[in-house]
Amino acid sequence: MSARASLPAVNRYSQAVWRRNALVWRRLIGPSLTTNVLDPLIFLFAFGYGLGAVIDRVGGMSYLAFVVPGMMCYAAMFAASFESTISTYARFSLQRTWDAILATPVSLTELMLGEMSWAATKGVFSASCVIVVGSLWGGVASPVGVLLALPALALGAICFACCGLAVTAQAKSWDIFAYFFTFWVTPMFMFSGTFFEVGRFPWFVQAIAWVLPMTHLIAVVRPLTAGVAVDPLAAAGHLLYVAALAAAAFSLARWRFGARLFG
Amino acid sequence: MDGTVAAAMPVIEVEALEKRYGEVHAVRGVSFSIPAGSCTGLLGPNGAGKTTIMRMIMALVQPTAGALRLFGKPPSALGRSMRERVGLVPQEDNLDPDLSVRQNLEVYGRYFGLPARTIAERVPRLLAFMQLAERGGAKVMQLSGGMKRRLTIARALIADPELIILDEPTTGLDPQARVLIWRRLLDLKREGKTLLLTTHYMDEAQRLSDRIIIIDGGRILDEGAPKDLIARHVRGHVVEVAKPLPRGFSEDGLERNDIGDAVLYYANDPAEVTRRLPADAAYLRREANLEDVFLRLTGHSLRQGE
């Protein structure tokens, strides 16, 4: 069978994994929608009255226009990271869902693709909630730009999901996820330009910030939603970095899971 | 054409199969072959290597050495098509706790790439077959141990496999639950499915299996039909005499096996033993079974370590 002929089949099997997670999540859609809409509302309220009153304009735009795209990226990052670590590890280890799936025609790579694409879906869903709330609040200057930002957010969510899987593949217990949040999620929250410009930090913080995929994602999404001119070459560079990191993280995760499961 | 070849070919062929986990030599050179349409029981105590052998057959564990053929080919060469023809009932419960009974089957069917129509048609049939029809909407956590096992078996049948591998299908279940599962497994055998099961219950092995492979410490000790194994290794009857043995009782010329708190004597005619015992001596007389075969072959009981 040629690779071309087997490609649709690959999609079918990873889709089955994606659909399993979607089916479970469907029951939780109410609470999930509520938190995904309320979270950015609380942020916007607090920052609008707190920081917004102090900071007038950041990077040539209103603080609201600055912070809303940051929150879109943060929402995508947090949801995809949580799903690909804590939730995936529960299915891998606690519930033994992975064992049951690997006894079927679904291959490990397809199983991982299913988990990864589901985590990315949740990331895009969370980001979309911020888009809706942020637009209604008046924080999105360019409606066209925000549509263009969606594929970038999706790529970002894929990258965060792949990085999460790479960590889950190392996990022997839940302890590792505490480090994951402290050394990966929180720095992306604080130093990647969600609330402040990256350029305000000392050089060594900036150096770390530009290693994090979140910084590159925000660098693409923010000018798009604010309706500011985008340098296509710079944007391509940022997206390429995010895509490369995703591929590297997924390969690492595949190699580690393979060694653990079939060794 | 393919059909005739498949019918003549053993479903599983295993040759000098070995598995080491670091220092632990879990399987030490095991060879057997399993003909289509039969039920074979791997009988041995916990830690004998049964689960490792099954996981190697399913290509979930890589053998350290030896050859393994499934449907005439190495599992690696069969890839996805091999998984489509095998249903696995694992020892530990890995039903999906986030899904209902019915959804467990539907979702599992999708992992096999089955079309929605096929799944919709098979799920109610499998629920009825495993006597779970009324529990379709229940959460997995609400099921009893026996129901969970039945659901796991139904799940393994979703793609209508030729070979069903069951790892300790009734361990930890009450007698009624076990009998129900046995009945269904015999139904499957009648339908022409090939069954491979591991167990450390000799009654289960005896009742279900056409052929039994006795393993201990990662090695095959003997194999054959239950009746033949009993005939080969133990005499027809067992007289169990509790310790301390009655005074004046002579064991000369009797085949014996000390099991700690009692001694087993094997004889074709139980009277050979009983007439030597004093009139008031307490003893137990029964027909020899696989447990005795196992005891003779290994010197220890099947249930040790439980």
Q: What is the pLDDT of residue B234?
A: 84
CA distance A21 to A119: 9
List the one residue out of B215, B265, B214 whose CA is nearest residue B235: B265
B143 in a structural domain: no
Contact criterion met (CB below 8 Å) for B57 and B14: yes
Which chain B residues are Cβ-neighbours of A261 within 8 angstroms? 60
- Sheet with B12-21, strands from edge to edge, namely B24-34, B12-21, B65-70
Which chain B residues are Cβ-neighbours of A96 within 8 angstroms? 92-94
Q: What is the pLDDT of residue A5?
A: 42
Please, which pLDDT band fits residue A115 given cuts at 50, 70 and 90? Answer: very high
Query: Considering the entire predicted model, what is its pTM?
Result: 0.89
Q: Is B136 at the interface with chain A, CB within 8 A?
A: no
Provide the residue range defining the domain that includes B246. 235-287
What is the interface pTM, i.e. ipTM, of the complex?
0.89
Helix (H) or strand (E) holding A183: none
Q: What is the pLDDT of residue B227?
A: 87
Quick check: B151 pLDDT over 60?
Answer: yes
For chain B, how long is the longest CA-to-CA vector? 75
Q: Which candidate from B60, B92, B99 shows the least CB-CB separation from A102? A: B60
Strands of chain A, DSSP E = 57-58, 61-62
Contact criterion met (CB below 8 Å) for B223 and B211: yes
B3 in a structural domain: no
Return the residue matching tokens 């226009």: A65
Contact check, Cβ <8 Å, A100/B58: no
Please, which pLDDT band fits residue B1 given cuts at 50, 70 and 90? Answer: very low
B248 in a structural domain: yes
Q: Which candidate from B94, B113, B159 shows the least CB-CB separation from A96? A: B94
Contact criterion met (CB below 8 Å) for A104 and B108: yes
Sorted by where each begins, the domain ranges of chain A are 12-262
Please, which pLDDT band fits residue B302 given cuts at 50, 70 and 90? Answer: low
User: In this predicted model, what pLDDT tens digit does every residue of A185-240 receive, in sequence order?
Assistant: 999 999 999 988 999 899 999 999 999 999 999 999 999 999 998 899 999 999 99
User: In this predicted model, what pLDDT tens digit does every residue of A163-182 receive, in sequence order?
Assistant: 999 999 999 999 999 999 99
Contact criterion met (CB below 8 Å) for A227 and A142: yes
Q: Is residue A232 classed exposed, middle or buried when 0-12, 13-18 and 19+ CB atoms within 10 A define those classes?
A: exposed
B166 in a structural domain: no
Return the HEC string of chain B: CHHHHHHHCCCEEEEEEEEEECCEEEEEEEEEEECCCCEEEEECCCCCCHHHHHHHHCCCCCCCEEEEEECCECHHHHCHHHHHCEEEECCCCCCCCCCEHHHHHHHHHHHCCCCHHHHHHHHHHHHHHCCCHHHCCCEHHHCCHHHHHHHHHHHHCCCCCCEEEEECCCCCCCHHHHHHHHHHHHHHHHCCCEEEEEECCHHHHHHHCCEEEEEECCEEEEEECHHHHHHHHCCCEEEEEECCCCCCCCCCCCEEEECCCEEEEEECCCHHHHCCCCCCCCEEEEECCHHHHHHHHHCCCCCCCC
Quick check: A9 pLDDT over 70?
Answer: no
Residues 6+ apart with CB under 8 A from A78: A126, A185, A189
Distance, in angstroms, between A101 CA and closest chain B CA?
7
B247 in a structural domain: yes
Number of domains, chain B: 1
CA distances from B167 to A118, B4, B45, B135, B164 (A): 32, 29, 13, 24, 10
Quick check: B297 pLDDT over 90?
Answer: no
Which chain A residues are Cβ-neighbours of B108 within 8 angstroms? 100, 104
Q: Is A260 at the interface with chain B, CB within 8 A?
A: no
Q: Is B118 at the interface with chain A, CB within 8 A?
A: no
Quick check: A159 pLDDT over 90?
Answer: yes
Tell me what the pLDDT averaged over chain A comes to: 91
